[in-house]
Amino acid sequence: MDPSYPREERPPPKRGPPPAAPAPRDHLVWAIFNTLYMNFCCLGFVALAFAVKARDRKVSGDVEAARHFSSKARCYNALATAGSVVLPLLLGALIVTGVIHLSKLAQESVGFFTYQFSGSDDEDQ
């Protein structure tokens, strides 16, 4: 060791307990929204039940169970939202393609319904 230059002695950094993982989200607001506005096949209500369970477990301190119920609430919320958005769009697309198909069919059959009988017998001669 070279004592020729002065050194600052610093105390070692204090080490406390490792930082706790953040508390899991309970997705309660999303579940309430799905229950009230877009309750596709009651998935919004199921998501609400799991969100309330997640919040209860988070308050009681059982983080692992809260994380489990939070994951289920997020899954059911995503399914309810996707079902409530995708199915009306799919239904609208089916209606539009059905109308287009029927209009083409009607245009093709106009010749059949507009056949006019004439007084001359051109076909007999």
pLDDT tops 70 at residue 14: no
In DSSP notation, 7-59 reads: ----PPPP--SPPPPPPPP--HHHHHHHHHT--GGGHHHHHHHHHHHHHHHHH
> Within a domain: residue 19?
no
> Within a domain: residue 41?
no
> Which pLDDT score is estimated for 102?
93
> Within a domain: residue 58?
no
Q: What is the tally of structural domains in the chain?
A: 1
pTM of this prediction exceeds 0.75 = no
> Which pLDDT score is estimated for 50?
97
> Within a domain: residue 15?
no
Quick: pLDDT tens for 52-72. Answer: 999 999 999 999 999 999 999
Quick: pLDDT tens for 67-124. Answer: 999 999 999 999 999 988 888 899 999 999 999 999 998 888 877 777 665 555 555 5
> Within a domain: residue 97?
yes
> Within a domain: residue 29?
no
> Within a domain: residue 39?
no
Q: Which domain holds residue 92?
A: 66-124
> Within a domain: residue 92?
yes
* Residue bearing the bigger pLDDT, 13 or 89: 89
